[in-house]
Structure formats: structure tokens, C-alpha cells
Amino acid sequence: MDGNEGPEVVPTGHGDSLIRLAGRVRAADLSNLGAVIADVTRIFATFRPVADCAGMLDQIRELEDVKSALADLQTRIAVDARQRRGQAAPGDFGAEDFAAGDAGAATDATAAPTPAGCPSVRPGSPLIVRPPRET
């Protein structure tokens, strides 16, 4: 800081690295996670908000794209882990039984909160329990 009050800002154009980061995370396979995580850490260590409102909105969109890419990667890791456990423990539930549930749970865990502070849950989500129908 140079003695001025308020947050530090950088000129616009910083989003290029965020766009590339989101693409890299989406393209990542599970064998190069260390390099992807190092990139995420490096970029966010130097990240600062831009000075103008339009630039801030662009940054928010870019950050949402990165967040979505990271949630997708988290889902792939969870599904892979379940599949490996399913292959290692024959006789247990198959990996395919867990894959859809893991994917849904990972997506629901990243859902934005509602104004009341409760997580938003979509119909058909594995987190919704429906009461039995009365006949």
C-alpha cells in the first residue's frame, strides 16, 4: 500500500490468467493434479481486485468459471476414488452405484446459498428425501 486507504488494485487484463487457469483445470487429468494445484495457488497468491466496477464484474465471472472448473475436478476425483475402492473391495457395492451419487453430492455442495442461508437443493438431488406416497 502507498498510504492510501482501501484495497490494493491492479489494472484490468489480469483475468487472462484466470481464463487460462479455468481451461487448464477443466483439461486436467488426475495424473497431473500437483501441477494444476500449484498453478491455482500461484495465481490466487497474486490475485487482486481491479479498480473499476466493470472489471470487477468480469473478475467475478472469471472466478465463478474457475470455481466451477474446480468443482468439476473435485467430482472427478471423488468418482475416481469410489471406483478404485470398488475395484479393491469385490463384493461391496459397485463403483457405478456410487458414481452418480458422488457427482450429485459434489455439485450440491458447491451450490450457492439461498437468501435464508440454506443451501439450494435441486429436485432429483441425492440429498432430497421424498416421503412415501399415500394410496
pLDDT in tens, 44-82: 888 888 888 988 999 999 999 999 999 998 998 899 888
Is residue 81 included in any domain, yes or no? Answer: yes
DSSP state for residue 125 in the 8-state scheme: -
Q: Which residue has the higher pLDDT, 130 or 30?
A: 30
- The answer to whether residue 97 is domain-embedded is yes
Show contacts of 107-113: CB within 8 Å, 24+ apart: 107/71, 107/75, 110/67, 110/68, 110/71, 110/74
Domain assignment present for residue 94? The answer is yes
User: For the chain, how many structural domains are there in total?
Assistant: 1
Residue 42, domain member (yes or no): yes
pLDDT digits (tens, 9 = 90+) for 5-22: 544 444 444 556 888 888
- Domain of 97, in residue numbers: 15-109
| Half-sphere exposure in the Cβ direction for 103 (13 Å, CA) | 11
